[in-house]
Amino acid sequence: MTTRSRPAVGAVVVLVVAVLGTVAADAAGAPRVAAPATAPAWDCHHQPELPYKLHAKSARIFAKPTRKAPVVGVLYPRHRIKVHGHRRGWVRLTDRTTRVTGYVPDRYVHRDVRTCPAS
């Protein structure tokens, strides 16, 4: 006749702690499981949008949304910009560093993209 051995209660608690997270004790001494320290995945999608950036070494700022228009300034990546709108492949913006307003092709100016973990 064989006897079945039962796992010790301590081994079960250790296994639960390893799976669910860390353990803390309340005033009565009963263990309770704390939530893992990672942030929920939805936090990433509820963040404010990232600012517009120039994604080139430089870009000419045109007076009108055409390459034949006079150049009114040059935009660099370190400049702060405010985008007013988009129009047929052009971005109307103000270079806040030099206070120049004009148009830049939209292939050079767009928002940075936030990388979110898969949920």
Tally of domains in the chain: 2
Q: Are residues 28 and 75 in the same domain?
A: no
pLDDT of residue 117: 74
In a domain, 59, yes or no: yes
In a domain, 3, yes or no: no
110 and 53 in contact (C-beta within 8 Å)? yes
Taking residues 41-61, report their average pLDDT: 83
pLDDT of residue 110: 86
Do 107 and 57 sit in the same domain of this protein? Answer: yes
Question: Does residue 18 fall inside a structural domain?
Answer: yes
Same structural domain for residues 58 and 16?
A: no
- Using an 8 Å Cβ cutoff, are 55 and 108 in contact? yes
Measured distance CA(24)–CA(37) in Å, rounded: 14
Q: How far is CA 36 from the centre of its chain?
A: 21
Q: Is the pLDDT of residue 89 over 90?
A: yes
Domain that holds residue 86: 52-111
pLDDT band at 32 (very low <50, low <70, confident <90, very high): low
Distance CA 99, CA 6 (A): 77
At residue 112, the pLDDT reads 79
For residue 84 the two structure tokens come to 């007013």
For residues 54-74, give the mean pLDDT: 96
We report the CATH number of the domain holding residue 64 as 2.30.30.40
Is 103 domain-assigned?
Answer: yes
Predicted local confidence at residue 87, as pLDDT: 86
22 within a domain of the structure (yes/no): yes
66/91 same-domain check: yes
Mean pLDDT of the chain: 78
* Residue 117 domain flag: no
Across 15-19, 27-31, 39-43, 51-55, least confident range: 15-19
